[in-house]
Amino acid sequence: MREPSPRVTWAALAVVTAAAVALRLPYLGNQSLWYDETFTRAIVTAPSIADVWHGVKATEGSPPLYYLLTWGWAKLFGIHSDAALRATSGIAGAACAPVAFAALRRFTGDRVALASAALLAASPMLVWYALDARAYSLLVLLSLLSFWTLALVLEGPTASRRRWLAWALTAAAAVWTHYFAAFLVAAEVAVLLWRLPAARRRTLGWSALAAALAAPLVAVLAAQTDARTDHIGSLALGSRLEQTGRQLAMGPNVPRAWLEAAGIVLAAAGLAAGAWAARREPRLRVPVAIAAIAVALPLVLSVTDVEDRLLARNMLIALPCLAALAAAGLLRLRAVPLALFLALGVATSVWVEGDWRYQNADWRGAARALPARAERDLIAVFPRLDRQVAQLYLGRTYAADRIQGDVWAVVAPARIDRRDLAPVRTEPAVPPGYVRAATRTHRGFRLVELRAVGPAAALTQDALGRDILGEVPALLVPQPGGGAP
């Protein structure tokens, strides 16, 4: 394929980067936080690095680099909004497009590298995680940086120490962001041993340095209980593999089945054509090998039940190489399939961000929808799992059982065997001595006022019924100085 001129290349990259920014940064504060993001907020608003380190060990199942960087951002600019909390993810996500071009061009050429950068810019999966205050967007960026430095080292067995050091540092940084990055680094080491047989000692030496830099994580991992990720292994592996393929192609929450199906067909066609092209283009074999090894290692551990943690978002380590392969294949199928796939990706992300039904449950809006008279009332949270999010937006604190007062039952919508959020059938029970006084709705939420008649009896969580998970709701009470963040 004929390569574009330098002027066209850089102009196209500027457009792709602008698109990546436009799909991410304006939407950083669009959605309410969800359960996992409340842990991020608690960690990064801690007063010291020591507190961040302790918070990661106490509440997380991932390494601390993302939290340390976001803590630094918070110290510099403050965390005064949901958008500010997600800023590091958003910036990392937008940066993936230009870094992907730089990382991949040595293996694919400028044309395919540009197409790969465009695929990552428009990827609904990467857009979603760029708008999520978790480590996944940074993981992809550091994976790309690691791949970039690998390309520099592979330019010859006499690569400078500076290039080897850059690779060791970026590889270690990726592992400091997510433990699954270790599979990517293992794949890169295998490629170095394969492509640079004359530099095996250097490969092993610099790999040992990367391992030494990651060694402090052993203490972090030892303190993090398996209970935080045990739920992954309880899900059927076949279902998780299907979900991984679907999400890497079109994201975690596609509004329509036809939209998802079209994207999956194009992604599969691109990968198949790219794999065929790799047979004749040796430089494509490096991305193919890295993607294959990075996917195979966690898959083998899951199949053998040694450590079953395979999940779609954890497999983002392979997405850049898969994008390169798909880009090469789609370009061989001419420009129309590539343009259509990009259009589907952009349409999915814009649709999701424009329709609350495909977003996180809007607890921020539900808190604002409560009337002023609810300021001193109790709040019963359905489901109980959303207690921390509700506490954040309502400025409330968790209450012990057997309390008195009027109650607002806030019943969140759910996405059960469907693509969109919808009101749940669960109805709060009306305890003895109470009447249902009013009902409001907001984006699938039901806000039900339960007013005491006469002297209010002591209220228990059991008296309000059960949520969709079969648990009693959480009761929240006002706290001094409470309010939405």
What is the distance between the alpha carbons of residues 360 and 242, in angstroms, rounded to a whole number? 22
Preceding amide of 383 cis, omega within 30: yes
Are both 353 and 425 inside the same structural domain? no
What is the domain count for the chain?
2
Are both 241 and 129 inside the same structural domain? yes
Are both 212 and 313 inside the same structural domain? yes
Q: Residue 421 is part of which domain span?
A: 363-478
pLDDT in tens, 63-91: 999 999 999 999 999 999 999 999 999 99
Are both 40 and 27 inside the same structural domain? yes
The pLDDT assigned to 454 comes to: 76
Stretches in the chain below the pLDDT threshold 50? 482-485
What is the distance between the alpha carbons of residues 183 and 297, in angstroms, rounded to a whole number? 7
What is the distance between the alpha carbons of residues 426 and 118, in angstroms, rounded to a whole number? 44
The pLDDT assigned to 422 comes to: 96
Burial label for 212, CB within 10 Å (0-12, 13-18, 19+), is exposed
The pLDDT assigned to 401 comes to: 67
Please state, in angstroms and as integers, the Cα–Cα distance from residue 28 to each residue in 31, 32, 93, 132, following that order.
8, 10, 11, 8
Are both 212 and 134 inside the same structural domain? yes
In a domain, 46, yes or no: yes
DSSP string, 285-326: HHHHHHHHHHHHHHHHHHHTTSS----GGGGGGGHHHHHHHH
Q: Is the pTM of this model over 0.85?
A: yes
The pLDDT assigned to 426 comes to: 86
Q: Of 330, 358, 386, which residue is a domain's last? A: 358
Are both 181 and 88 inside the same structural domain? yes
Are both 135 and 282 inside the same structural domain? yes
Q: Of 358, 391, 417, which residue is a domain's last? A: 358
Question: Which one-letter DSSP state was computed for residue 47?
Answer: S
Are both 354 and 401 inside the same structural domain? no
Among 41, 39, 127, 46, smallest CA distance to 85 is for 41
Rg (C-alpha) for the chain, rounded Å, is 25
The pLDDT assigned to 480 comes to: 65
In a domain, 88, yes or no: yes
pLDDT in tens, 260-296: 999 999 999 999 999 999 988 888 999 999 999 999 9
Are both 367 and 326 inside the same structural domain? no
Q: Facing residues of 450 across strands?
A: 407, 436
Are both 18 and 124 inside the same structural domain? yes
| Percentages of the chain per state (helix, strand, coil), in multiples of 5 | 65, 10, 30
The pLDDT assigned to 429 comes to: 94
Q: Of 358, 373, 400, which residue is a domain's last? A: 358
Residue 57 token pair: 């060990």
Are both 367 and 350 inside the same structural domain? no
Are both 407 and 332 inside the same structural domain? no
Residue 314 token pair: 């954890």
